[in-house]
A and B are shown apart, each in its own frame.
Chain A
Amino acid sequence: KAGVTQTPRYLIKTRGQQVTLSCSPISGHRSVSWYQQTPGQGLQFLFEYFSETQRNKGNFPGRFSGRQFSNSRSEMNVSTLELGDSALYLCASSLGLAGVTDTQYFGPGTRLTVL
């Protein structure tokens, strides 16, 4: 079974630009979550999508948005990039069930560098 895939793996942008990251979940998984990881803040939750709807949201500004398609693939968009947005962006997928053992599986991440 293929794992979670993320594209692109590396990205360099300049301040003020926008960027779109893509995530393909494990087949059969309907929940996709996004996290930002930086050396100073660690792993922080951005948002979660289930059945094309944003179900949970973290404490990030509105410049960070996402969407999910009918095949469960998800995209994350960051507009008006700031230097502080430089980070490893991780996508995780799970079955999306409300059970206690619904395990999240992470992709390799997209390394975004903002100059």
Chain B
Amino acid sequence: LAKTTQPISMDSYEGQEVNITCSHNNIATNDYITWYQQFPSQGPRFIIQGYKTKVTNEVASLFIPADRKSSTLSLPRVSLSDTAVYYCLVGAFYNQGGKLIFGQGTELSVKP
């Protein structure tokens, strides 16, 4: 199973771009990288998923270098409502024994 390492916390200000990097040195060839966002007392919300290079959707971008040993979630122009915990997950649901393994996540605090 690919273990992930993320910063425990990050601070930012409204309007800034935030980049959260996740390390996953043991990523397997067929592993995808998925990011979730979680607000207090709510379920994690799927943000973005990718395999290599760059993926962009209406919420965020995901940058994955060629060696795939890390990935960076980029949130453009954050607002106060982006204050949440962000989880990086590596591996397919069924390749991990039919479950998702969540690490500590990164607690992002956006200030006015």
Chain A residues engaging chain B, CB cutoff 8 angstroms = 4, 33, 35, 42-43, 45, 48, 55-56, 58, 88, 90-92, 94, 98-109, 111
Separation of A100 and B36 alpha carbons in the complex (Å): 17
Tell whether A101 pairs with B44 under 8 Å between CB atoms, given A33-B99, A94-B93: no
Nearest CB of chain B from residue A112's CB, rounded to whole Å: 12
A108 and B43 form a contact (CB under 8 A): yes
Separation of A98 and B30 alpha carbons in the complex (Å): 12
Interface class of chain B by DSSP: loop
Tell whether A101 pairs with B32 under 8 Å between CB atoms, given A43-B102, A48-B98: yes
Which of A56, A94, A102, A106 is within 8 Å of B44, CB to CB? A106
Tally of A-B residue pairs with Cβ under 8 A?
A: 62
Ranked nearest first, the 10 interchain pairs of A and B with the lowest CB-CB distance are A56-B98, A106-B43, A45-B99, A100-B92, A43-B102, A90-B43, A98-B94, A106-B44, A48-B98, A109-B43
Residue of A nearest to B100 (CB): A104
Q: Is B111 an interface residue when CB atoms closer than 8 A count as contact?
A: no
Nearest CB of chain B from residue A37's CB, rounded to whole Å: 9
Separation of A100 and B43 alpha carbons in the complex (Å): 22
The interface bits of chain B over 79-112 (1 if a CB of A lies within 8 angstroms of the residue's CB, else 0) are 0000000000000111101111111100000000
Tell whether A102 pairs with B46 under 8 Å between CB atoms, given A42-B104, A48-B99, A111-B41: no
Residue in B44, B93, B97 whose Cβ sees the most chain A Cβ within 10 Å = B93
For B103, what are the chain A residues with a Cβ–Cβ distance below 8 Å? 42
B42 and A108 form a contact (CB under 8 A): yes
